[in-house]
Structure 1
Amino acid sequence: MIFLNLDDGTFTQSKTVSYKFKPSHITTGDINNDGKLDIIAISSDEPDITVFYNAGNGNFNNSMIISTEVPLADVKAVDINKDNKLDLIVACSFEACIIVFLNDGDGVFSKQIRYEPTYFPLSLEVIDVNNDALPDIITRHDYFKITVFLNTDNGNFIEQKSTSISLDSRFIKAIDINGDNKSDLLVGYSSSFQIHFGFGNSTFANPIEHCSNYGITSLETADFNNDNKIDIILSHPYNNKTSILFNTGNGTFIEQKIIDNIDRPKYASMIDINSDGKAELVIANDQTITILNLHC
């Protein structure tokens, strides 16, 4: 469903984009360079990528299906070869493969590059991990591994040595958490998360663990209190709580804010809904979306 913002923090009634399967992941990006955000969807049960083209009025009437031959676990849209065209990167769910689809510029993907990593990829992050201004790929695997694939400047990637993690991870996020201009890794688990500080050369330090008193289903980052430091938000649906952990600036989190009485929150993020320069807290569960004006 799509809710169109009326610029004052209110939304139109939802519009539905029909999809023949239950989507497991969606992302957005201007695939055909027409200045409009398109929707890219995958299903973990089907070997396809579906691109829904934005008509500019909130409607997505035309779509394109890209066959992958194998079901998919994750999808990202990013320009990997510096040609100002959004490419697609997917992780395969039942085979050890990563596929890069290079965009010709008008939304046609005539070239694909397939990589067969050592371990099965479960999810992807795309970020520059070695400060060469090129987006690299980070994959979360089974067998308690995280692997970096370095971009070689032409859209090709080279697999690096994997980083071992101690538990069965739920999600990863790559971001500079301590303000040293090097990408760090946040690895989420069922009731804790770990921070691997990056050295800026595609390698990471041993993890620092942060435990939660509640089960975690999502981990997102944003500067919640406008102090130019990246904070962390955790969703705890089984406890009807959302936690915000405030960053001291060096990647440590001392103070936290607990938001109670949110019915089974599964996902939370910070977005400037009404274009006033202040971000609101958006919390979603299976039935509702709640928008909170947060005063930190």
Structure 2
Amino acid sequence: MTFSTGSLPYAVAVCDFNNDTRLDIVVANQKDSNVSLLLQYNRGFLRDEMTYATGGGSVLRYTVADDMNDDGHLDIVVANYGTNDVGILFGLGNGAFLNQMIFNTGSSSHPSCIALGYFNRDTQLDFAAAYDGIMTVEIFLGSRNGTFARQVSDGIRFVSTPLFIASGDMNGDGISEIVVAYDDNDNVDLLVTYNNVSFENQMTFSTDHWPSSVVVSDFNNGTRLDIVVANVYGNDVSVLLGYDNGSFQNQMTFSTGSYSLSLAVSDFNNDTRLDIVVANQNDKNVSVLLGYGNGTFQNQMTFSSGAGPYSVAVGDFNNDTQLDIVVANLAGNDVSVLLGFIVIGFMNQSTITAGNGSRPQSVAIADFNNDSRMDVAVANSGSHTIAIFLGYGNFTFSNQTTFSAGSKPMSIAVGDFNNDSRSDIAVANYDSETISIFLGYGNGCFSNQSIYSTGPESYPYFVAVEDFNNDTAIDIVVITQGTNNLGIFLGYGNGTFSNVTVMPMGYGSDPFCVLIGDFNNDRKLDFAVANEGTDSLSMFLQTC
């Protein structure tokens, strides 16, 4: 099934945004600078999209949904590459959102990717942001009121632009580390946080050619987090199994389609083993690799999507206990939904239209209107908006409601930033060098965006949300490709955030994505940043 979104849908996410127990879809429309939200109303059928703007020139590069302010409502977080900030649309629990609240990531930072995590043991979601413009990563520590305090980095600079970051507790210390994949660099780095602001020297692990997306999960039931990376020019995924000390084995590669840009992880065949889905842009399809539970995977199965699949997310849209796949199609200005079934794979796609020229770049999923159905938030880079699609619970979504974001929003993330149990949104605006924050009203609508600078020439590319400093407030992390930095906006728990704290990723690293997690089981959130420029993943392990 196909549903219209905004122009250039860059990323997609799946969540129950209106608390109706039905999954909805959010799409980041890069060209429109908004997110499209498709709310499900009955077993996969979607209402017309709602859009939420992330500000003119925001150039959305990434989006993610979570409860950023502990109010019980899912919020949308977007990386506003163009406006150098991360935006959060706070959800009202009914599929509606407040206008985005903006968290500045610094001039020319250009946040391109965001990962959520817990970087300071305060139970509040924080986020790490990868900066395309200044080639670094920063942490934003969250508070219960939905604000985030930017933690300025003290020296991590990437040699390539970070494309994607992910997070998880890789070393078991209770604090999330960051995995970084870079532009034009065949490595990923692990960054370990040690003082809520800074990172130890990154550890570098080889991948195949040009890693573009990274996810952290446990693929071999080994009680330690592992890493999977999509390699654009390798036409494969790299799997790096984790050791107890936060380091990783050499990669194993598994073939996918052509120009693999985005991936997600879940159990598609209900065998309690994690599987992988990958969006293949050149082949106009997705690959599904079923896992054996020991860190290895079957040969791929492929399923058609729309034109230019760019971002992928997973959820059960028709309440049949089978996971479905949502794909943001950059060239088609729509979203495809592939219904899953256990024997063969997935049904034909369902497309959500984001609108002509919207260019959705990133998508997040949450329940924005508290109807227990998952909704979708999309960062539309072409229309400089975020679009909200409220889910009907039957695999269909409402038409999008759009909200103005910054210029060229590239990434979107969701969390509860102001502790009202409503989902809010953060967006990275590439061209405006800002992030936009949209506070959700719990009815599928959002406040006007609040804007936070990511720095001059930062070009924020990716945004993620998590509580990095354990103050119970959701923080935002942004990747700025222009400055090769990771930026952190610490949340205050009221929907506002600190100024961005920058963590350099190294000249030429081109970070593009960040993931957050406790990679070493020390109960501290760590960062993983994907660096396109150096084909590497940077890991930042937090130590205090």
The alignment's TM-score, normalised by the length of structure 2, stands at 0.51
For 2:368 and 2:313, how far apart are their aligned partners in 1? Answer: 15
1:174 aligns to 2:174 (yes or no): no
For 1:184, the equivalent position in structure 2 comes to: 375
Q: Once the 2 structures are TM-superposed, how far is the Cα of residue 10 of structure 1 from its aligned partner?
A: 5.3
Question: The residue matched to 1:212 in structure 2 has which SS?
Answer: coil
Percent identity of the aligned residues? 27
Deviations 1:44-72 (A, max 9, x none): 22221110111121211322111236331
Alignment CA distance shift 1:206-1:40 (3 Å): same
Provide the alpha-carbon RMSD of the alignment: 2.3
Q: Is the 8 A contact 1:245 1:253 kept in 2?
A: yes
Q: How does 1:131-150 map to 2 (within 5 A)?
A: 131-141=319-329, 142-150=331-339
For 1:108 and 1:267, how far apart are their aligned partners in 2? Answer: 29
Q: Once the 2 structures are TM-superposed, how far is the Cα of residue 109 of structure 1 from its aligned partner?
A: 1.5
Residue among 265, 271, 292 paired with 2:489: 292
- Structure 2 letter corresponding to 1:231: D
For 1:123 and 1:200, how far apart are their aligned partners in 2? Answer: 22
1:270 aligns to 2:465 (yes or no): yes
Deviations 1:151-202 (A, max 9, x none): 1244621114433331332222222211111111222212112111111000
Residue among 443, 446, 466 paired with 1:253: 446
Residue among 108, 113, 125 paired with 2:313: 125
- Structure 2 letter corresponding to 1:293: L
Question: The residue matched to 2:431 in structure 1 has which SS?
Answer: helix
Q: Is the 8 A contact 1:173 1:186 kept in 2?
A: yes
Deviations 1:81-123 (A, max 9, x none): 2221110111222113222111111122135422234655332
For 2:275 and 2:335, how far apart are their aligned partners in 1? Answer: 22
Say how many residue pairs are matched: 296
Alignment CA distance shift 1:131-1:17 (3 Å): same
For 1:49, the equivalent position in structure 2 comes to: 237
Q: How does 1:217-256 map to 2 (within 5 A)?
A: 217-256=410-449
Q: Which has the higher strand share?
A: 2
Larger displacement relative to structure 2 (254-263 or 146-155) = 254-263
Q: Is the 8 A contact 2:374 2:390 kept in 1?
A: yes
For 1:164, the equivalent position in structure 2 comes to: 353
For 1:204, the equivalent position in structure 2 comes to: 397
Unaligned ranges ≥5, structure 1: none
Alignment CA distance shift 1:155-1:106 (3 Å): farther
Deviations 1:210-258 (A, max 9, x none): 1235332222111111111110112224333222111111121125432
- Structure 1 letter corresponding to 2:489: L
Q: How does 1:5-24 map to 2 (within 5 A)?
A: 5-6=193-194, 11-24=199-212
For 1:229 and 1:118, how far apart are their aligned partners in 2? Answer: 32
For 1:269 and 1:68, how far apart are their aligned partners in 2? Answer: 26
Alignment CA distance shift 1:84-1:223 (3 Å): same
- Structure 1 letter corresponding to 2:247: N
Q: Is the 8 A contact 2:257 2:287 kept in 1?
A: no
Question: The residue matched to 1:55 in structure 2 has which SS?
Answer: coil
Query: Which structure is richer in relative contact order (CA contacts within 8 A, separation 6 or more)?
Result: 2
For 1:40, the equivalent position in structure 2 comes to: 228
Q: Is the 8 A contact 1:81 1:155 kept in 2?
A: no
Larger displacement relative to structure 2 (7-16 or 211-220) = 7-16
Task: Please say which structure displays the higher CA radius of gyration.
Answer: 1
Q: Is the 8 A contact 2:241 2:295 kept in 1?
A: no
Q: Once the 2 structures are TM-superposed, how far is the Cα of residue 6 of structure 1 from its aligned partner?
A: 4.2
